[in-house]
Amino acid sequence: MFVQDSTRGIWVNLEKAKPNVSLKAGELVEFDGITEGPDFAPQIDNPRFKVIGSAPLPPAERISFEQVASTMEDSQRVEVEGIVHKVFKRGNRLYLEVATEGGRVTGRIPFYMHDYLPQIVDARVRMRGTCGSEFNSTNQLTGYTSTSHSNHG
């Protein structure tokens, strides 16, 4: 899970422990955790959350593929634009493989509950979400994702 304040975002590791409260995009939270650095960037482990209100999502900064590829925007809310080359679904996630000027980015839309795939191959899209870098088991960079923060349908 990604969290972001007014300055930057960070990955919160939920693999070992699920959140102690139900959380959704746009909630304002306080949390405690332990900082760790198992990969290329710091993250938070063993989080404990307290929901204290709601807030608008931070604005998405328009970035280039070169900025995505630098990994400097990892865990940040961003916007990228490109042409959809492939649409597919795994479980309740919809994936868009998008060619941008400079390279490919995969958009990941969680909670996609429809049985059909949108017919948007060759469409120009703008994706807003949190930028993430994908690594394999030997910590080699394998791709880039932008995860949407809202239900799409």
Q: Which domain holds residue 122?
A: 61-147
Span 52-84, pLDDT tens digits: 999 888 889 999 999 988 888 888 999 999 999
Q: 96, 84 in Cβ contact below 8 A?
A: yes
Element at 51 (helix H, strand E): strand 43-54
Residues 91 and 121 both lie in one domain: yes
Same domain, 50 and 66: no
pTM of the model: 0.77
Total number of domains constituting the chain: 2
Do 76 and 127 fall into the same domain? yes
Residue 83 sits in the same domain as residue 48? no
Looking at the chain, list the stretches that DSSP marks H as alpha helix, in order from N- to C-terminal side: 65-69
Give the pLDDT confidence of 18-56 residue by residue, as tens digits: 888 888 888 999 989 988 877 667 889 889 999 999 988
Among 146, 141, 95, which Cα is nearest to 117's? 95
**What confidence tens digit (pLDDT) does each residue in 102-132 have?**
999 999 998 899 999 999 999 999 999 998 8
